[in-house]
Each structure stands twice: as C-alpha cells, then as structure tokens.
Structure 1
Amino acid sequence: MLTHPGFDPVAIKFTDTFGVHWYGLMYVIGFIAFLLMGKYRAKKPGSPIKPDQVDDILFYGALGVVLGGRLGYIFFYNFSEFLQNPMILLRIWEGGMSFHGGLIGVTVASLLLARKFGLPLLKVSDFVAPLVPLGLGAGRIGNFINAELWGRPTDVPWGMVFPTVDQLPRHPSQLYQAALEGLALFLIVWIFSKKPRPMGTVSGLFLMGYAISRIIVEFVRVPDQHMGENGFIAFGWMTQGQLLSVPMFLLGVALFWWGYKKHPVKGA
C-alpha cells in the first residue's frame, strides 16, 4: 500500500496568499509542449500550417481550453448551482474544468482559425490533435499533485491512501489518466500522423483514443457525487464523463470511416 506524498499545491509562494500553483504550471507545460511540437510539425513538408501560424493556434486554443473548460464544467457538472447563482461562472479560483467543454472550446477556436487560414476545419484539427495529449497528461499530473479526482477503494498492490480523503487505499486514477490519455494517446496519434493520412482520420483517432481511455478509467475513479444517484447518471454505473465520451467516440469512428472512404491517401 502506498501513501500520497502530500504535495503542497503551491509550487512557488510569493506571499502567504499569493503564489504559483502546480496545476497552473501544468497548463504552462502543456502549452509549451504544444508550441514546440507544433513548430516542429509545421516545418515538415506538406504541412497545411506554417510555423508562424502555430502561435495563433496556441493563443486561440488556450482561450478555447480555458473558456470552454470552465463553461463545460458549469453546464455539464454544476448547472443546478449555476441556476441558483450564475456568478459561480466567474469563480475560477475555486477550480472546476471539463475536458469535454475544453474540447468544444478548441473546436470553436479551430473553426475560427480555419476561416482565417483558408483551410478546411479538419485540416486544422488534424494538425492540432497530436499536440494535445501531452498537455492532458500534464493536467492529470496536476490533479495528482493536488490529491483530487482520486479513484475508488481497491486492494491492488499499488493502491494509494489519500490522507486528505480517508485511510482507504484507492486507485491513483489521476496517474492512470496521465498514462492513457496523456502518454499512450500521444504516442498513438503522433506516430499515426507522421505519414500522410486521409483528412479527418487523425482527429478521429484522437477522439476515439481519448473516449476509450476516459471510459475505462471512469470505472475506477470516484464519480462526481452530486451527479445523479451516488454519482451515476444512467444504468446504475455510467458516469457523466462516460456519457459525454460516448458521442465523442462515435464521432471519432465516423470521421475515421469518412476519411478513408472519401479522402483516401495512397500508401496511408
């Protein structure tokens, strides 16, 4: 049995009330990784994106992640409280971000950029998709440092006690997500995208990969207790995260099929 190290969520303290949090640093790491890998990809022959356009993608994408993530959390996970007090939308210091909301925000940002660059939306999203997973993984490391979004009780040898919760060994589900939707998804999508692929297939693979990873880990992660009955919103076992991931997976399958059916690439 392991015990959570009990990290201080504040990485750098300037005063007793002001400092830089680890979770914020994880966002910075994700954005830096996005920028560096994006510049690298943009220099490759045949790239639809120019190196100087990556800066615009990062700026628009960061706005989409933050605004979409916050709005998604409020509307997907905390809508009843929002109806009682709409001002919680602005209380970002209290935490609360949704991946699925961030995905919608990034999609809107990609649509705006596609119009600006004169490219099809899927050309932009295929460029962006391989750059996202490492940022997702960094965010999950931030969740682990903060000892939040922990897993369900378990008797596996690597079960971890989170003292701020209770003394039960639990799945370190944050690390599972960092490994699956972070590192593993990055390797799969990055390697797949290294060769010319039909338009939409890289985006489709990302959507399918994330959805599968999220659905799997949600089986060992503690669901949001304020959602449905004991955190389950359907069938007595399905969580909100799983429900939101189902249409994401289906869209990924559709994009993958459509790409190979309508836009085949020789040798892909």
Structure 2
Amino acid sequence: MLGIPTLLNILFVWLPAFTSVGLSLTSWDGIGLDQIKWVGLRNYQEIFTIYPPFWPALEHNVIWLLFFVLIPTPFGLFLAVLLDRQIKGSRIYQGAIYLPVVLSLAIVGFIWQLVYSNDQGLINELLKDVGLNPVNWLGDSHVNLWAVLVAASWRHVGYMMILYLAGLKGVDPSLKEAAAIDGASERQTFFRVVFPSLRPVNIVVIVITVIESLRAFDLVYIINGGFNGLELLSALVTQNIIGEASRIGYGSAIAVIMMLISTVFIIIYITRIFKEEPQ
C-alpha cells in the first residue's frame, strides 16, 4: 500500500527537486541536452550580486509574508473564536467565509478584476460617487502589491479560520471551566489557557503561511493579466524558465533558493512535532 504513493512522491516531488538543484548549477537555454554547460555556483553569485529583479522580488515576498502574519491570520483566528461559540447561523458563516478557498483561482482572479477594474470596477465606481479620482489599482506600482495582497487575504482568512476552528474544537473544555472558577475573564482565559493550547496549530499555520507567501504566483498572474512590474520570486522562476530568453539555470537557482527558505520552516515544524511526541 505504501509502494505506489512512495513512487508518486519520488517522481513528482523529489525527482523534480533534485533535478532543479542540478540544473541550477548549469547554463542551459532548454534546447538540446548537449547544450547544458556546468557553471557551478555562478548562477547563485550573479543572482545575489548583478541580477536586479531578485532583491525587489525577495522584498515583495517578505512583505507578503509579514502582511499575512499580521492581518489575515489573526483575523482568521478572530473569526474562528467567534464561530466556536456556536452563534446562530454559524454553519452558514463558516461556509461563506471558507467559500473563496474552494473556488478556483481563475474565478477568484476574475472577481477581483471586477473589483479593481479602472473603468467599471466596484472600488473606482464608489470613488467616483464621492467625488474622488479613480485609482489604477493594478497598474500603479505603488499600490498594486497591496491590492493583490487584499485579494489573496480574502482566500487566506478562510483557510486560517478552518485551521484554528479545528484547533479550538480540540481544546479541553475543563481547562476553560477551571479558569472561570479561578475568576479569569474571557480575555484572560483565551490568552493564558486557550491560545497556548493552540501551539501545534500555530506551528502549522506559520509553515503554511510561509509556503503560501513564497509560492504566490497564480492569483497575481490572473488578477494582473501578467505581472506588470510586480516582482515575486515565483514570477522570476517562470520568466527565466519559459520566458522569451529561456535561462533554465537561473530559474532553477531561484527555485532552489525558495525551496531552501521553505525547508527551514518545515524542519522547524517537524522537529517540534517529534519533540512533542511521547517517548
């Protein structure tokens, strides 16, 4: 029973990963295996020193990560706490908030295109109604990152809400009752009893948020109709591998950098899991 899943994992995860590592040490335009040239660490050296888009892309990914950690993730936790109280219609609210997660990214992108459109977009129409000038939400480099972050947060909030809601269901009710008997307020009970019990969920949330912020690609591409100057690490991988001037080595090197960053958080997560397992 383990053979087929293991084989699929090797073929579609490990083999491409090791192939990317190997290609990152080469110079190749993707045409003809005999054209592959070994360059060692030169691609990495050039990426960190003379490749202009890399550092802005890394900065945008860091901003993406911090935004997700500071705004949609806490908001998802807040919604989970409210829905955990079994308020009337909680099932309907859960479905409505989680709906963007199950929608295809094409549909999500189309929805936010309608919201941000220059001519008849919802936001610009509202701005016109109050006498303000419309904003080029996706074409202006000063605001396009934040516009896409809001759209991405619409999906992320629902994802975080479900994770935290599942964690809250696993908190022992006797802990809350003991805190109430000791005279703790609801706020004290949450921050001193409930939230510490969510530690395993918090680790999962951090890992997922880091990976989501690094691989941000599809929604940006769909909403913007391309990238339109919005550099992201995933965009640089695509542009170098399947762009007009195909540079497989460069694209693979950036992909390996992304993989290494993700691996750090995954190792932390696995280490914590093994430490918490009973001996």
Would you call these one fold, judging by a TM-score over 0.5? no
Larger Cα Rg: Structure 1 or Structure 2? 2
With normalisation by structure 2, the TM-score equals 0.30
Q: Which has the higher helix share?
A: 2
With normalisation by structure 1, the TM-score equals 0.31
